[in-house]
Every structure is written in C-alpha cells, then in structure tokens.
C-alpha cells in the first residue's frame, strides 16, 4: 500500500469545490462552538459558584436536542435541506450575538444565559439533520466515507483547539468577545452552505408532525443494519463511557495529580485525531460494518485494561488506543447510517443518531458514577468495558447483515428500501 493511501483520503477536497467550501465554514463554526461551550461554563460558574448550575448547562444543551430533534428531522425530510440549514445557522448566530450583548453588559440572571443556550441548541437540533444529508448528496458513494472522515478530523482538531483559544480570549478580552467570535464563525458557516444547490428530499416526502416521526422510528426499528449500528454505539457509550470516572480513578491510582487528569482527556483526543488522520485504508476498504464492530470491541477492551493498570504511562497508552477505536467506530457508524438510509428518511435518522450520540454518554456517565459509588472507579471501568465487549458481540451475532455490510450495497437479507409507509400528507 502506498504511503499516500495510508493517510486521510482527501479526494473530496480535490474533486468538489462545494464540499471544500462547506467543510471550511463548518470547521470554523465548530471552533466557535467549542469556544462558546467553554465560555458558558466559565460564566455560569463565575456567576453562581454552584456545581448544580454548572450541570444545568449540559441539561440546557441536551434537552432541546432530544425534544426538538425527531420533529426537526421529520420537517427536514419535507423541505429543502439547504434552506433549513441556512435558517438554523442564522438562528444560532443571533443567539451568539445576544450572548455577546449580555456578556458585555453583565448583571443578567443566570436563567437568561441558560435560556439563550437552550434556544441556540434548539436551532442546532434543526440544523444537524439538515447537514446530515450534505455529504451523501454532494459526493459520489465511493467518497462518502472520506468526506465523513474529513468532517470528523476537523471537528476533533477544533475540539482540541477551541478550549485553548477560548481560554486565551477570556483572559485577554472577556466573555463578550468570545461569544462575538462565535457569532462571526456562524457567518462563515452560512457562507459555506450558501453556494450549495437546492437539496429537497429524493423520493417520498415525510408526513407532517407525529406521523412523520413515527415513520422514521418504524424505519429505525425495522432496518436491521441501521438499528444494529445505533445499538452498537449505545453499547459503547452507555456501558463504557469513562469521562465521569477519570477524577475518581486519578485519585485512587495516581494521587489526584491534576496534570494526570488532563492527560487522560488529551490521550483520548490524540488517539482520535491519529486514527482519523490515518483512516485512508479504512474509508477505501468499504466494509464499515465489521470495522465498527471491531473498533467498538477494542474501545471496551482498552477501557477495561485501563481500569486494571496502575502505571500512568500504560494507562495513557490504553486511552490513546480507546480514543482511536472510538473515532473509527463513529466514522464507520456514520458511514453506515448515511449510505444505508434512503434520502427521504435521512433527516429523521440523522436526528435519531444525534440524540443517541448525546444521550448515550450522559447515561454512561450516570452508570459509571452509580457503579463507582457502590464499588470503585477501577471496578466501574473494568465492568463497563467487559459489558461493552459482550454487548457488541451480541449485536454482531444477532445481526449478520451488519457483519457483511458494504455502504450502499445491502446484503441479500436486507431490502434496499424500508417498508412502505402511508402516503405523504399535502
């Protein structure tokens, strides 16, 4: 294999100027989003010095994704996805401007800050399913996985860079400037998507309201490959998510050194960036099903081994492997979802995937905390990793179509289209 084929597949950047511009805008907007996330946490803590209010920030971000997401997906599957995304981007930018205004003026109730965060998250819940159709509609099928990998690696890079930039801006200019920079970043996201062609649904449009939501859920429960991909992700996050356990494990094993705790988080990110950078063979292999199952199993095994080690360096090595496995699993799952879902349902399925991605880690943190409270942080890690291995093996054994799946090429047991639904409403 040539060295060039080992690295991230950049063919979409060469062949599609529209995708290139879209990726640039979304990358800058992602940077602004991580800056705002840090800034909100900083501001709420500074205003209240309360862990309860700090925890409410995550609630303000997560609840709209769950409450708005599926209905937004049904609407997206009835509309021009480009126009919906542009509208959602404008809404998020306005919220950032209002956050900047209150940041400059000060002396506002913390409830108002959280309200703006919740409204911004609601617009994000609308924009996410619209954006979910861009890559499979803009790129040929043999480049979809590569396009998703480019989205992922730029997002991971911004996740590393955004908090650091936010810290510098907060220290020099304050919270108002941080929010204002986020608003400007949405302007670049708008520019990136403005040149897209119209992207109405291909095929039968979604029925309005609850009927459309139920049609999407019916597809999710009936399509074995997509269902298996989402169940695998839930197994990895709910059973083995380690983030909430890091402070306790650091105290139990490594004396509570804050430098070690920071390295735990960095190791996961480093593994993720490295795996996506060298994802060329995986995206060209076109076997996302087996790759996802193997990567999810590796995630669980690595975290179990991390829970067993008493060496900081060995533990960091296990976390690097876990971060790499998680990155590969996410890339493979997204490839499966976006290439196996009919375009007319892609908004609703992408919304469900976003909800799974948000809810799973929160539930995983709760599970880890409860088990650690009964036993220890290391025990919670080991049992979670082993349960993840068993759950992934069970999904793989129960879903032979998932083990054999190639993107866009259903196996003999899996129909190309979902079961028929009732006719679309007017």
pLDDT in tens, 207-257: 777 778 888 888 888 899 999 999 999 999 889 988 778 878 888 887 877
* pLDDT at 46 > cutoff 80: yes
Residue 57 is encoded by which pair of tokens?
């920030």
Per-residue pLDDT tens over the stretch 57-77: 877 887 888 888 878 888 899
pLDDT class for 50, splitting at 50, 70, 90? confident
Q: What pLDDT shows up at residue 364?
A: 83
Residue with tokens 């209002």: 98
Q: What pLDDT shows up at residue 345?
A: 87
| Terminal-to-terminal C-alpha distance of the chain | 53
Per-residue HEC secondary structure of the chain comes to CCHHHHCCCCHHHHHCHHHHHHHHHHHHHHHHHHHHHHHHHHHHHHHHCCHHHHHHHHHHHHHHHHHHHHHHHHHHCCCCHHHHHHHHHHHHHHHHHHHHHHHHHCCCCHHHHHHHHHHHHHHHHHHHHHHCCHHHHHCCHHHHHHHHHHHHHHHHHHHHHHHHHHHHHHHHCCHHHHHHHHHHHHHHHHHHHHCCCCCCCCCCCCCCHHHHHHHHHHHHHHCHHHHHHHHHHHHHHHHHCCHHHHHHHHHHHHCCCHHHHHHHHHHHHHHHHHHHHCCHHHHHHCCHHHHHHHHHHHHHHHHHHHHHCCCHHHHHHHHHHHHHHHHHHHHHHHHHHHHHCCHHHHHHHHHHHHHHHHHHHHHHHHHHHHHHHHCCHHHHHHHHHHHHHHHHHHHHHHCHHHHHCECCECCCCCCCCCCCCCCCCC
Mean pLDDT within 324-341? 90
pTM of the full predicted structure? 0.76
Residue 407's Cβ-side half-sphere holds a number of Cα atoms within 13 Å equal to 27
CA nearest neighbour of 225 among 418, 361, 66, 74: 418
Phi and psi dihedrals of 205, rounded to 5?
Answer: -75, 160
Residue 424 is encoded by which pair of tokens?
């679309």
CA nearest neighbour of 74 among 64, 84, 89, 63: 84
Phi and psi dihedrals of 406, rounded to 5?
Answer: -115, 145
* pLDDT at 367 > cutoff 70: yes
Residue with tokens 């908090």: 163
Radius of gyration of the chain (CA): 21
Is the model more confident about 5 or about 159?
Answer: 159
Query: What gap in Å lies between CA 283 and CA 256, rounded to an integer?
Result: 40
Residue with tokens 């356990």: 245
* pLDDT at 361 > cutoff 70: yes
Contacts (Cβ under 8 Å, ≥6 apart) of 372 = 245, 248, 379, 380
Residue 208 is encoded by which pair of tokens?
């309005």
Query: What gap in Å lies between CA 136 and CA 307, rounded to an integer?
Result: 39
Query: What gap in Å lies between CA 237 and CA 361, rounded to an integer?
Result: 5
Contacts (Cβ under 8 Å, ≥6 apart) of 18 = 138, 195, 196, 197
Angstrom CA distances, 6 to 60, 279, 283, 391, stand at 41, 7, 10, 31
Is the model more confident about 357 or about 124?
Answer: 124
Residue 309's Cβ-side half-sphere holds a number of Cα atoms within 13 Å equal to 15
CA nearest neighbour of 32 among 149, 175, 166: 166
pLDDT class for 414, splitting at 50, 70, 90? very low
Q: What pLDDT shows up at residue 405?
A: 62
Q: What pLDDT shows up at residue 278?
A: 82
Angstrom CA distances, 88 to 33, 185, 275, 301, stand at 14, 14, 31, 39
Residue 235's Cβ-side half-sphere holds a number of Cα atoms within 13 Å equal to 29
pLDDT class for 258, splitting at 50, 70, 90? low
Residue 33 is encoded by which pair of tokens?
């989003």
* pLDDT at 418 > cutoff 50: no
Cα 373 off chain centre by: 28
Average pLDDT of every residue of the chain = 85
Per-residue pLDDT tens over the stretch 11-35: 999 999 999 999 999 999 999 998 9
């Amino acid at each position: 294999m040539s060295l060039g084929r080992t690295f991230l597949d950049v063919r979409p950047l060469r062949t599609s100027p529209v995708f290139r511009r879209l990726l640039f805008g979304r990358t800058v907007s992602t940077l602004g989003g991580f800056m705002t996330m840090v800034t909100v946490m900083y501001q709420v803590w500074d205003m209240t010095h309360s862990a309860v209010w700090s925890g409410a920030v995550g609630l303000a971000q997560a609840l709209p994704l769950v409450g708005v997401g599926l209905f937004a997906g049904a609407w997206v599957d009835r509309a021009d996805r480009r126009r919906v995304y542009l509208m959602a981007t404008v809404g998020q930018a306005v919220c950032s401007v209002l956050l900047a205004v209150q940041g400059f003026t000060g002396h506002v109730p913390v409830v108002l800050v959280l309200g703006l965060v919740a409204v911004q998250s609601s617009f994000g819940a609308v924009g996410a399913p619209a954006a979910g159709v861009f890559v499979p509609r803009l790129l040929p099928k043999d480049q979809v996985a590569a396009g998703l990998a480019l989205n992922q690696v730029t997002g991971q890079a911004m996740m590393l860079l955004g908090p650091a930039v936010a810290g510098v801006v907060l220290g020099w200019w304050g919270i108002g400037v941080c929010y204002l920079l986020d608003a400007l970043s949405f302007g670049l996201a708008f520019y990136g998507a403005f040149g897209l062609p119209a992207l109405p649904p291909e095929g039968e449009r979604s029925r309005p309201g609850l009927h459309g939501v139920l049609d999407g859920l019916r597809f999710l429960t009936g399509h074995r490959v997509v269902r298996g991909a989402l169940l695998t992700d839930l197994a990895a996050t709910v059973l083995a998510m380690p983030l909430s356990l890091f402070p306790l494990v650091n105290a139990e094993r490594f004396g509570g050194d804050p430098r070690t705790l920071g390295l735990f988080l960095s190791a996961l990110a480093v593994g993720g960036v490295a795996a996506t950078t060298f994802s060329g063979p995986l995206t060209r292999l076109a076997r996302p099903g087996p790759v996802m199952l193997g990567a999810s199993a590796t995630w669980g095994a690595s975290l179990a081994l991390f829970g067993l080690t008493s060496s900081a360096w060995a533990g960091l090595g296990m976390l690097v492997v876990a971060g790499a496995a998680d990155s590969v699993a996410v890339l493979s799952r997204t490839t499966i979802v976006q290439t196996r879902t009919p375009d007319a349902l892609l908004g609703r399925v992408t919304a469900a995937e976003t909800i799974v991605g948000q809810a799973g880690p929160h539930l995983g943190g709760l599970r880890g905390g409860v088990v650690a409270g009964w036993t220890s942080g290391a025990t919670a890690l080991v049992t979670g990793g082993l349960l993840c291995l068993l759950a992934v093996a069970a999904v793989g054994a129960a879903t032979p179509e998932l083990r054999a799946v190639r993107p866009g090429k259903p196996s003999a047991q899996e129909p190309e289209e979902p079961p028929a639904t009732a006719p679309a409403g007017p």
